[in-house]
Amino acid sequence: MPMGSFARRPTVLIILHQDHSTPGRVGVALKAMGARLDIRRPSCGEPLPEKLADQDGVVVFGGPMGANDSLDWVRRALGARVFRYDDKRSEIGYYAIEPTPAGERLCSGPFPRTVYEWRTDGFDLPEDAELLATGGPKFPNQAYRYGRHTVGLQFHPEVTYHMMCRWTHRGAERLTRPGALTRPEHLGGWFQYDRRVAAWLEAFLPAWLEGRLAEPAPKARLPNAVSRVHEREEFAIQRAEG
């Protein structure tokens, strides 16, 4: 949502999904920028604001729930498909990603190349979204932007070393899933890769909160014949997904 410059202390709505969850490094960085955190946990019965007029930004974190769970407070707002692969593949640990040109110019910080993941679901890129980072054939969509100010990240830049220790302890059984890395690989990866993730987050958050993210790239216009073919293919995919 639009941010802009502030004549007052900005307020950021933080949405978490477990009673013991914290916003981690994101919360620390926002507080250091002078923001007030309005923390809500809808899964624990805490109501969300009826309107966002008093909020300057919203950060929605991940959790144990899935987008396809039958929960009243879970909605797929942009309509794209979220799915689990038949082979039950996972990305739990540090994995390489590749930023797109749009991801590279999003803010002044270089987009990280190796990031901390904790997921088994894949997702299709929402219509009209701009891809910011890809992860190859197994989990191709890693980050995207929708409109001017909304950014979706599949990875977890908020994770601190303490959080990683807790996640790998409480979720130890998930580390046995196909594709998941071992606990020593998680902890060792933090020392190897976290500095670059933290540097990117320090550049991204102020640009996001102050409305200084780079403009989305203009969409290329396709020749009419190519456009019609693309439209037929997209329509077929949408129908196949129901």
Whether residue 111 contacts residue 194, with contact meaning beta carbons closer than 8 Å, is answered with: no
Among residues 162, 152, 220, 209, the alpha carbon closest in space to that of 3 is found at 209
* pLDDT given for residue 142 in this prediction: 96
DSSP labels, 123-147 = EPPPTT-EEEEE--SSS-EEEEEET
Domain boundaries, the chain: 1-63, 80-242
66 exposure class (CB count in 10 Å sphere: 0-12, 13-18, 19+): middle
Matching CATH number, 80-242, of 3.40.50.1950, 3.30.1370.60, 2.60.120.10, 3.40.50.880: 3.40.50.880
Alpha carbon distance, N-terminus to C-terminus of the chain = 30
* pLDDT given for residue 74 in this prediction: 73
Question: Which tokens go with 3?
Answer: 């941010």
Question: Which tokens go with 117?
Answer: 């993941």
The set of long-range contacts for 153-156, using a CB threshold of 8 Å and a minimum separation of 24, is: 154/117, 154/119, 154/123, 155/97, 155/115, 155/116, 155/117, 156/62, 156/115, 156/116, 156/117, 156/118
- Say what the pTM is: 0.84
Write down the residue that tokens 């059984």 correspond to. Answer: 173
Question: Which tokens go with 175?
Answer: 């580390």
* pLDDT given for residue 85 in this prediction: 87
Per-residue pLDDT of the chain (242 residues; tens, 9 = 90+): 444 556 689 999 999 998 989 999 999 999 999 999 999 998 888 999 989 999 999 999 988 777 777 777 776 778 888 888 888 899 999 999 999 999 999 999 999 999 999 999 999 999 999 999 999 888 999 999 999 999 999 999 999 999 999 999 999 999 999 999 999 999 999 999 999 999 999 999 999 999 999 999 887 554 444 333 333 333 332 222 23
